[in-house]
Each structure stands twice: as C-alpha cells, then as structure tokens.
Amino acid sequence: MDGQVETMEQGVLGHLMALERGGMGQQDQHESQRLEMLKVRAVTLRAQRDQLKHQADAVKILKDKISKDLPLDDADAAGGFIELQKSLLTAWRMQLKDLQRAHHLIGGYDLVECKEGKSLCVSFHTAFEGVYLETYNMELDLTRTVQISRHNIPPSFPLESIAKQLLQKDLKGFLQTLSQKLNALAGRRQQVYLLKELVGSVEVMESSQLCNILVLMCTAQGETPKAVLCTLEYGDLTQCLPTRVSIECEDKTLSESPQWKKNQLLLLESPAHTALLTMRRMGSIA
C-alpha cells in the first residue's frame, strides 16, 4: 500500500516539477520548497513510527518471555538477543528516571556536581498545602572551604547567619535549615496571597518582606459593623503559623468576647486564610 502511495507521489510531484520548470516565479519556488519539506517530514515520521512499532514488538516479546519464565539468552535468536537486552536496559532506564523524578517531587535538593566536583548546585523546592511554589537555587564552591558562590535567595532572608553557623561543619544541616526556613517563608507568603484572593473583605495593612508580621483589618459583623485589627507575629521563622496573635478593637467588649477569643485561637492554630474563611462562614466577620 505504501509502495503505491510512493509511486503516486513521485508521479504527481514529478508532474508538478515539470510544470514548474516551464517558467517559475519567486513565490512558486517557495511553495514547491514547502511541499518538498512536507514530504520529507512525512517520510521521517513514517520511519519513526515504524521503528517504534518494531521496538514495541521487541518489548512485547521480552515481556512474554519473562512472564513465561523463559531464558532470555537463546543462542538461536542472536540478533533478537540484542533487541531484548536493549529493551531490558530501556526498561531499567525508565525506572531510574522515575526514581529521579520521585526525588524531585518529594522536595529533594536535585544535587548536581559541576566543574568536575569543584562545585555543587542545589535547588530548594518550596510548597504549601500541596501547591508547589518558588524554587531557589544555589551554587556551592568546594575548592578550599565550602562557600556560596551564587544564589537567588531574596536578600531579606538571613542566609549569611545560617551559613556562618552551619555551612562549614554540617552541610546537610545547612541545607535542611535553609529548606525549612524557605518553605516557611513561601508558606507565609502564600497565605497572604490566598487571603487576598479568597477573603477580599479583609484588608492587609502591613506585611514585611520576610512575612514575620501580618496586620489585618477585618469588619466584625453586628448591629453596627466594627473595625477589628488583628496582628499576627511570626516569632519562629521555621513556622507557617504565628507565635502571637493580638486582637484590637475600639469596642473593648468585642475584643474581649468569647467569640473573638475563639477567633484569636483560630488565627494561632490554623493558616491565616483558613482561619478567616472560617470566621466569615461563622458570621463573625464580613
């Protein structure tokens, strides 16, 4: 079938080219080139498809042999044996790549040795509640002492102090601490983002680069809506939750009420956006 198509193509193309030889403009030349390119592409893809089919058959043979517990190195199928080995190795390579991806997905450092072992590149993957966020990268120079040569960690982050403490004596500890703190930072930032997205009625009055302080203005529901200022202090930079929450309102009875004591606890024990969504659902705030 393919053979017939090929001859037909040659026939039509040949006809076209003969026609073209009789006076051809610039545009015509381009167009016949395009046709030629398309033909080449089709032929290439056909070959690729056929090769894949051939490989698939080899793999199926392999699978069949393995399931039937047959020996894989029959002397009579010499050429076939190489195909089998190729399939084996391809299967093994696939598994290894899956393992690499797994390490990457669970937040591994994706360590890469550069410059013949003179330097290391690591990545810090961050995520919050299942959503993958920023990835920070760092190159460590190993020639004499361990030094950070390049990185893209935000300047407000206390990188130098952590490096001073841990980099020389405990590399894994250094990486772990960085990972912890970068993830906590990403988590706090994400909470501010989600807060703005999901709870539009709450105003973010103040938030710092390191997100170690968050001041929110909510509107308390009641006979007359009242403004309530919630200050969340994140004293522990390895955490996504605040260490202290204070509630301020002109109306002291409101801020001292059991409802708002509960709200204060909510803000201490759950992520900011989750707490505020609950508070809104309970009718506490607008």
Partner 1 sequence: MSRLNRLRKIMEQKYEEEIQMLQQEIEMLEAEQEETLRSIFIEHGDRLQHELKSVFEERGGAQKPTLSKLITEVRELEKDLRRQTEINGIALNECFVKTLHKSERKLVQQLRLAGHCSVLLFQVEFAVTEIQEGDALLRRVTELNIVVDGVEFKDFSAFVSRVEDTKDLLLFFRTLRTFSERCEERRQTFQHFQMTPTSQFQVQSHPSKLPVLQKPLFDIKSLPTYYFENAVASWK
Among positions 188-217, residues that touch partner 1 (CB under 8 A) are: none
Amino acid at 40: V
91 binds partner 1 (CB under 8 A): yes
126 binds partner 1 (CB under 8 A): yes
Considering beta carbons, is residue 102 or 205 the nearer one to partner 1?
102
- Both tokens of residue 78? 């010499």
The answer to whether residues 160 and 138 touch, using CB atoms and an 8 Å cutoff, is no
Which of 77, 111, 198, 205 is the binder for partner 1 (CB under 8 A)? 111
Considering beta carbons, is residue 127 or 148 the nearer one to partner 1?
127
Which of 86, 151, 262, 280 is the binder for partner 1 (CB under 8 A)? 86
66 binds partner 1 (CB under 8 A): yes
Alpha carbon 98 to its chain's center: 16
- Chain positions 250 to 279 lying near partner 1, rule: CB under 8 A, are none
Q: Where does this chain touch partner 1 (CB under 8 A) — which range of 7-15, 154-162, 189-197, 249-257?
A: 7-15
56 binds partner 1 (CB under 8 A): yes
CB of 132 to partner 1, least distance (A): 4
Which three-class secondary structure state does DSSP give residue 235?
A: coil
Considering beta carbons, is residue 82 or 265 the nearer one to partner 1?
82
Q: Largest Cα–Cα distance in the chain?
A: 97
Q: Where does this chain touch partner 1 (CB under 8 A) — which range of 175-183, 197-205, 223-231, 246-254?
A: 175-183
- Both tokens of residue 148? 């950070």
Q: Where does this chain touch partner 1 (CB under 8 A) — which range of 10-18, 149-157, 194-202, 219-227?
A: 10-18
Find the DSSP H helices in the chain: 2-21, 26-67, 78-105, 159-166, 171-198, 252-255, 258-269, 272-281
Instruction: State how beta strands 131-141 and 147-151 pair.
Output: antiparallel
The region that residue 115 occupies, defined by phi over 0 for left and psi between -120 and 50 for alpha, beta otherwise, is left
The values of phi and psi at residue 39, to 5°, are -60, -45
CB-based burial label for 199 (10 Å; 0-12, 13-18, 19+): buried
Which of 74, 236, 250, 256 is the binder for partner 1 (CB under 8 A)? 236
Which of 30, 34, 164, 196 is the binder for partner 1 (CB under 8 A)? 34
Q: Which residue do the tokens 């193509």 mark?
A: 9
